[in-house]
Amino acid sequence: SDFDALRREPDVELRFIDRPSGDALPDCLILPGSKSTIADLQAIRERGMETYVRRCVEAGTEVVGICGGFQMLGQAIRDPEHVEAHVSEAAGLGWLPTVTVFHRDKLTTQARGVHLESRLPVEGYEIHCGRMSPAPEAEPVVKIIERGGVPAEELDGAQARNGRVWGTHLHGLFDAAAF
């Protein structure tokens, strides 16, 4: 559902790719959520998409990760209890200064927040077992102000490379028309 709002925009052309193509690089590359983050990260590598992501970043393309895609953009993904994977750890793509650790309890909730750079409201849902540990230099992307109908004050996401690489756990943030 993360692409539904973008699909409705008349000036947006969506292309879904699972292998690098010779086409021109996109204006924005989005790594969506995943139910098997480590396995999907391995598939990205096997299909040559890690090199494609690097090409995009180096060319100035905005790279966005949503939930599992956000986790993949970090330094490492750890699954010590094998919640999602048979391996205990995988190196991330390394574009964000974050580490994800999977836990058995899954966070599933509706959330409202504010995109920190634009100050625009965003809302959506969170559904993930991974808990993010950002490095001190990580810049958050969203301030969560409500979670499950209860007021909250928590930072989410991370950005790097002058805001060109960023991610959040918030699915549906593109549904906010102004954002």
Question: What residue type is 21 in one-letter code?
Answer: S
Active site residue 171: yes
Q: What's the token pair of residue 160?
A: 């790097």
Terminal Cα-to-Cα distance of the chain (whole angstroms):
16
Q: What's the token pair of residue 122?
A: 């965003």
Catalytic residue among 115, 128, 169, 171: 171
SS3 call for 139 = strand
Q: What's the token pair of residue 7?
A: 């699909």
Q: What's the token pair of residue 22?
A: 């010779």
CA 94 to chain CA centroid, nearest Å: 13
Hey, how many other C-beta atoms are within 10 angstroms of the C-beta on 63?
24
Catalytic residue among 56, 67, 129, 169: 67
Active site residue 103: no
DSSP string covering 18-71: SS--SSPPPSEEEE---SSHHHHHHHHHHTTHHHHHHHHHHTT-EEEEETHHHH
Active site residues: 67, 171
